[in-house]
């Protein structure tokens, strides 16, 4: 594949603009004082500060996990990061009527309207700008059915009993280096609580935007679905183009009680850096769900197209008998992007089932690794897993790797793993061109076909968005 493709590459990152807004920024660097300052700024109760400090002290003893992931990057200077940045406003944030118009314009530009009348019907949004939530839509409508959907800060103030019960119950503060860091300094995020027997009446979504240079974004999301409850949640992310790297270390915890279903979808489009690999987001994220009750179900769907580095393994602990875990993933790397992503399915309960479908696409000089663990514990009688892991290569300078770990401790379990690697061929592209499609449309069609099994898991609006995004990310990657 020749130069025709190469020359087409790298269309402008559409979301790379910066919002000019005055921010309340804490000085660079991290110490116990920084942690206290963040907690104080948020007016948190004592239990929250204690939890943060425990996490911070544990983090100091931990080492960055540099050895096992198939990614390369220079050491991160944790003292050169800004840990808290909030748009400065005269009035308190949280009420959409009073949000700075500049912020509303930012979200309009990103295609997210925060005006309820203009919004997509049936989707409620929590908008997070740097370290804080600027507002959550449809709160009242949701409250009528008993659903709580608010910023994490608000949840700490308004629902401390729920947080005490569930915070850290799936991802403990000492889980891993980045989770511990997040637990110490997290600034905001979303909280969802769907009470017993309630089917959440609309899609919930959070839109994350990083704006301030050198600021890290450390958000935390906690979703709890009580017995028989159902909820579908979407997450979208963008950041301005900057020549320095920005750290994003989030934690997401999902708890599904008996018979509950949580569907969590992500379209990640953080700035990926330029063609030479300068700038871009370092995306180190811990996402885990617990099927705590029998017959519960947690389904992760992710479309990862952005970030200079992606390090994330949305996982499910299948504790309840007959519970179900799913992971559907599309990860695309182009330019110099690196992704090491996959999942863990931990089968503890009887007759638990998990499905993993991973589609990795590598173009340019990108490097894509699937890393997945399927673990069947001794008591998981009759557990079943099916894993399908496909890689597609575009061009000659990219890489695709697969690292499956399978650990079965119960002889009645059945675990299947299928893997394939293919290359977009000149013949495939020529075939479509002979039918009148140009190179870009041909590649887009081939790649979208490759990802179909994952895209069909996404909510409708997101599926269309994801297809377009894929086209843009791969633009000019082949000739």
Per rule CB under 8 A, is residue 230 in the interface with other proteins? Answer: no
Candidate segments 15-23, 180-188, 326-334, 447-455, binder of other proteins by CB under 8 A: 447-455
Tell me which residue of 430, 474, 201, 471 sits closest to 333, measured CA to CA.
Answer: 474
Task: Return the residue of 171, 318, 374, 446 that touches other proteins, per CB under 8 A.
Answer: 446
Q: Measure the CA–CA gap between 198 and 129, rounded to whole angstroms.
A: 30
H helix or E strand, kind and range, residue 36: helix 32-41
Query: Could you tell me the smallest distance in angstroms from the CB atom of residue 438 to other proteins?
Result: 5
Contact 230, 259 (CB under 8 A): no
- C-alpha to C-alpha distance for 84 and 56, rounded to whole angstroms: 15
Cα 373 off chain centre by: 19
Nearer to other proteins, 70 or 355 (CB): 355
Tell me whether residue 410 or residue 448 sits nearer to other proteins (CB atom).
448
Q: Does 437 bind other proteins (CB under 8 A)?
A: yes
Residue closer to other proteins (CB basis): 26 or 466: 466
Q: Which residue of 67, 90, 140, 435 would you call a contact of other proteins, by CB under 8 A?
A: 435
Min. distance of Cβ 364 from other proteins in angstroms?
Answer: 21
- Binder among 140, 396, 434, 460 for other proteins (CB under 8 A): 434
Minimum CB–partner distance for residue 299 and other proteins (Å): 20
Window contacting other proteins (CB under 8 A); options: 27-35, 102-110, 194-202, 430-438: 430-438
Instruction: State the number of binding residues for other proteins (CB under 8 A).
Output: 22
Would you call 153 helix, strand, or coil by DSSP? helix
Strand partners, 385: 354, 415
Among 88, 441, 464, 468, binds other proteins (CB under 8 A): 441
Minimum CB distance to other proteins, residue 442 (Å): 8
Question: Any contact of residue 25 with other proteins (CB under 8 A)?
Answer: no
Q: Select from 81-89, 267-275, 344-352, 421-429 the region that touches other proteins (CB under 8 A).
A: 421-429
Among 453, 461, 471, 472, binds other proteins (CB under 8 A): 453
Q: Using an 8 Å Cβ cutoff, are 66 and 119 in contact?
A: no
Task: Report whether 83 contacts 34 (CB < 8 A).
Answer: yes
119 binds other proteins (CB under 8 A): no
Q: How far is the CB of 451 from other proteins (least distance, A)?
A: 7
Distance of CA 55 to the CA centre of its chain: 22
Under rule CB under 8 A, residue 20 binds other proteins:
no
3 state DSSP class of 60: helix
Question: Phi first, then psi: what are they for 423, rounded to 5°?
Answer: -125, 135
97 binds other proteins (CB under 8 A): no
CA-based end-to-end distance of the chain: 5
Task: Enumerate residues 6+ apart whose C-beta is below 8 A from 418.
Answer: 387, 388, 389
Tell me if 162 sits within 8 A of 195, measured CB to CB.
no
- Residue placing its CB nearer to other proteins in the complex, 124 or 429: 429
Which segment (153-161, 249-257, 320-328, 436-444) binds other proteins by CB under 8 A? 436-444
H or E segment to which residue 329 belongs: strand 324-333
Beta bridge partners of 368: 339, 400
Among the listed ranges 15-23, 209-217, 274-282, 426-434, the one in contact with other proteins (CB under 8 A) is: 426-434
Phi and psi for 451 in degrees, rounded to 5? -95, 5
Q: Which positions lie near other proteins, rule CB under 8 A?
A: 425-428, 430-438, 441, 445-446, 448-453
């Amino acid at each position: 594949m020749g130069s025709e493709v190469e020359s087409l590459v790298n269309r402008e990152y559409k979301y790379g603009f910066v919002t000019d807004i005055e921010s309340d920024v804490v000085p660079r660097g991290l110490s116990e004082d920084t942690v206290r300052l963040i907690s104080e700024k948020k007016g948190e109760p004592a239990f929250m500060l204690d939890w943060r400090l425990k996490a911070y002290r544990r983090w100091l003893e931990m080492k960055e996990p540099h050895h096992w992931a198939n990614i390369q990057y220079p050491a991160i200077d944790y003292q050169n990061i800004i840990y808290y940045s909030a748009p400065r406003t005269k009035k308190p944030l949280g009420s959409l009527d009073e949000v700075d118009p500049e912020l509303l314009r930012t979200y309009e530009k990103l295609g997210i309207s925060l005006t309820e009348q203009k919004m997509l019907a049936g989707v409620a949004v929590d908008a997070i700008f740097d370290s804080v939530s600027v507002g959550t839509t449809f709160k009242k409508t949701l409250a009528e059915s008993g659903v709580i959907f608010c910023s994490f800060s608000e949840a700490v103030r308004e629902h401390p009993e729920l947080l005490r019960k569930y915070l850290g119950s799936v991802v403990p503060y000492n889980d891993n280096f980045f989770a511990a860091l997040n637990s110490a300094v997290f600034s905001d995020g979303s909280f969802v609580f769907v009470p017993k027997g309630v089917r959440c009446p609309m899609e919930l979504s959070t839109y994350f935007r990083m704006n301030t240079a050198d600021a890290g974004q450390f958000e935390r999301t906690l979703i709890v679905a009580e017995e028989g409850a159902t909820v579908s949640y979407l997450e979208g992310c963008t950041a301005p183009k900057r020549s320095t790297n920005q750290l994003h270390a989030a934690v997401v915890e999902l708890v599904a009680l008996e018979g509950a279903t949580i569907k969590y979808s992500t379209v990640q489009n953080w700035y990926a850096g330029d063609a030479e690999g300068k700038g871009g987001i370092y995306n180190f994220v811990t996402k885990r769900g617990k099927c705590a009750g029998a017959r519960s179900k947690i389904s992760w769907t992710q479309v990862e197209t952005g970030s200079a580095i992606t390090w994330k393994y949305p996982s499910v602990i299948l504790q309840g008998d007959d519970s179900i875990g799913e992971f559907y993933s599309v990860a695309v790397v182009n330019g110099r992007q690196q992704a090491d992503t996959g999942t863990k399915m931990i089968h503890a309960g009887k007759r638990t089932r998990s499905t993993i479908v991973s589609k990795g696409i590598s173009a340019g000089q990108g490097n894509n690794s699937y890393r997945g663990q399927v673990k069947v514990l001794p008591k998981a009688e009759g557990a079943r897993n099916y894993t399908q892991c496909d890689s597609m290569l575009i061009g000659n300078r990219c890489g695709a790797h697969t690292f499956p770990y399978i650990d079965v401790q119960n002889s009645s379990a059945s675990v299947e793993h299928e893997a394939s690697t293919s290359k977009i061929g000149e013949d495939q592209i020529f075939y479509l061109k002979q039918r009148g499609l140009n190179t870009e449309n041909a590649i887009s069609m081939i790649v979208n076909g490759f990802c179909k099994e994952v895209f069909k898991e996404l909510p409708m609006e997101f599926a269309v968005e994801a297809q377009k995004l894929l086209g843009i990310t791969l633009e000019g990657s082949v000739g």
